[in-house]
Amino acid sequence: MLKKIIPLLLIAFLFSCAEEKPKKAIQKKVSQVKVVKKVKKEPKPDLINNKNVVERLTAYGKKNPETIADIYTSKGKVRVRLYKDTPLHRANFVLLTKSGYYDGCYFSRVSKNFMAQFGGSYNDHQREVQKKIGVYTIPAEMSHHHFHKKGALAAARDYTNNPDKRSAMDEAYFVEGVTFSNYALSKYEHDNHYKYTQKQIDYYEKTPGAAHIDGEHTVFGIIIKGFSAVPKLTAVATDSQEWPTTNLYVDSIRIIK
């Protein structure tokens, strides 16, 4: 009897094992590792600085030989011709123009019978363009041949710690001017340690200009059309720093040829 019972128990045991549900596999928890893609760093732009400015502007000027530009101001369009024999200033003006630097810039100083100055990094747009080009000054390219005639286009500069009279990269001005007596010219010669040519003397005694700053700033162009906009710019009301009380702008500058 016992012999019969054991096989039956064995069969029952085996049957019960076959009916047991399989256990779930024990999975190893893998921590989710966040895959961070390496962002390729953009190379820093090769900015213009005071050490490479001559080389860089010379190279740029050879590739961009234009000399005629239209300047659209709040008071009308002015057409200028840039001088070829001030190559660094000409190239710099073309570079900033093609980079859009002057678009929407302020006239930061206007003075009746003297000049209207524009440019400068007074807003975010100009500062962003500077980040791509660089911040630098330009070696002086003054000559007695190009002086502050009526309609002259010249470069502003810092008068502090600037014995070489290097020009600011981004600020320029139009000359309106007045006439000068021979006495006044003699006084400026003495005060500024500057000698006028007979051509300059003859010009300033008959024609408006800004003789008192000859030898202090580089003149690199001349207005050839639209001078009437200049006295409109200088006639507006200003604060004590000669900043127009109603903002005036260079809307844009376009290189023509």
Answer yes or no: is 234 within a domain.
yes
Answer yes or no: is 14 within a domain.
no
| C-beta separation of 114 from 176 below 8 A | yes
Sign of the C-alpha dihedral, residues 214, 220, 226, 230? negative
CA distance 75 to 230: 8
Q: Look at the chain and report how many structural domains it folds into.
A: 1
Q: Which domain holds residue 175?
A: 53-255
Answer yes or no: is 191 within a domain.
yes
Answer yes or no: is 31 within a domain.
no
pLDDT at res. 38: 55
Strand-pairing partners, residue 223, are 80
Answer yes or no: is 156 within a domain.
yes
Answer yes or no: is 10 within a domain.
no
Question: DSSP letter at 207?
Answer: S
CATH of the domain at 176: 2.40.100.10
Task: List Cβ<8 Å contacts ≥24 apart for 33-39.
Answer: none
Answer yes or no: is 13 within a domain.
no
Please say if the pLDDT value at position 111 is more than 70. yes
Answer yes or no: is 227 within a domain.
yes
Please say if the pLDDT value at position 33 is more than 50. no
Query: For 47-71, what is each residue's pLDDT tens digit?
Result: 999 999 999 999 999 999 999 999 9
Residue type for position 52: N
User: pTM of the full predicted structure?
Assistant: 0.81
Over residues 190-199, mean pLDDT: 95
3-state secondary structure of 32: coil
Query: For 138-193, what is each residue's pLDDT tens digit?
Result: 999 999 999 999 999 999 999 999 999 999 999 999 999 999 999 999 999 999 99
Angle subtended by helix axes 124-133 and 87-98, to nearest 10: 120
CA distance 241 to 238: 7
| C-beta separation of 139 from 55 below 8 A | no
